[in-house]
């Protein structure tokens, strides 16, 4: 089943509207969606390496604009939208604990979350709720998200054929490892929270 999904995603990634789909996923991932844009960014670059830099740019811009939407959710709609999103991801109690000190370390928190697999939407909403300086938030988002997506693009542009060959050869094992890491990451976040 996952093999067919992988093949379908690669086929979609090679189509002319793939960048629009990537922009949509990148935008909503930064404010409410739980799946990172890498699920489409990687196949786009593997399917068409000449689009690596364009895909990274689209991903970065859409993610930062989506981060702005998350900021707006926190700033304007925390009680109606932001609180349920944070509660859904199990971060409401954690959020309440670090809210007071957030602005002191806001730039570093946004930067770190933009680079890591930590759910970025939690940070975008928190930044709005705590009223982190918008220019600071946007600058940290542009730098961190740009670094993340352009590093992925550079690695895949350089090593893409080798990566694709390894994925094709060891797809079953990689799928198991991916889901084990995904579940392990959620368990670790719950333990740390």
| Three-state SS letters, 145-191 | HHHHHHHHHHHHHHHHHHHHHHHHHCHHHHHHHHHHHHHHHHHHHHH
- Contact by Cβ (8 Å): 94, 119: no
Write the CA distances from 107 to 88, 134, 146, integer angstroms: 25, 10, 15
Alpha helices, DSSP H, located in the chain: 2-13, 18-29, 38-47, 52-77, 83-88, 92-98, 106-115, 120-129, 134-169, 171-192
In this predicted structure, what is the pLDDT of residue 145?
94
* Rounded distance between C-alpha atoms, residue 157 and residue 154, angstroms: 5
In this predicted structure, what is the pLDDT of residue 63?
95
In this predicted structure, what is the pLDDT of residue 67?
95
First-to-last alpha carbon distance for the chain, in angstroms, is 34
Cβ neighbour number for residue 177 with a 10 Å cutoff: 11
Write the CA distances from 86 to 18, 28, 71, 112, 141, integer angstroms: 30, 15, 13, 18, 19
The residues spanned by each domain of the chain are: 2-160
pTM, two decimal places: 0.75
In this predicted structure, what is the pLDDT of residue 35?
77
pLDDT tens by residue, 42-80: 888 888 888 899 999 999 999 999 999 999 998 998 888
Residues of the chain with pLDDT under 70: 1-11, 98, 100, 164, 167-168, 170-172, 174-175, 178-179, 182, 185-186, 188-190, 192-193
* Rounded distance between C-alpha atoms, residue 127 and residue 67, angstroms: 10
In this predicted structure, what is the pLDDT of residue 140?
95
């Amino acid at each position: 089943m996952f093999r067919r999904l992988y093949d379908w995603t690669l086929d979609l990634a090679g189509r002319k509207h793939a960048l629009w789909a990537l922009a949509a996923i990148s935008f909503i991932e930064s404010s409410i969606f739980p799946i990172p844009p890498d699920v489409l960014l990687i196949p786009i670059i593997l399917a068409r390496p000449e689009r690596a830099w364009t895909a990274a740019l689209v991903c970065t811009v859409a993610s930062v604009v989506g981060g702005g939407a998350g900021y707006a959710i926190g700033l304007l709609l925390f009680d109606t939208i932001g609180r349920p999103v944070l509660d859904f991801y199990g971060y409401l109690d954690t959020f309440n604990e670090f809210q007071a000190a957030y602005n002191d370390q806001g730039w570093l928190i946004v930067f770190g979350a933009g680079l890591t697999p930590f759910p970025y939407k939690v940070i975008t909403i928190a930044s709005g709720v705590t009223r982190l300086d918008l220019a600071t938030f946007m600058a940290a988002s542009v730098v961190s998200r740009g670094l993340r997506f352009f590093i992925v693009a550079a690695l895949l542009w350089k090593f893409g054929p080798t990566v694709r060959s390894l994925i094709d050869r060891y797809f079953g094992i990689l799928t198991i490892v991916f889901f084990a890491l995904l579940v392990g990451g959620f368990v670790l976040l719950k333990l740390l929270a």
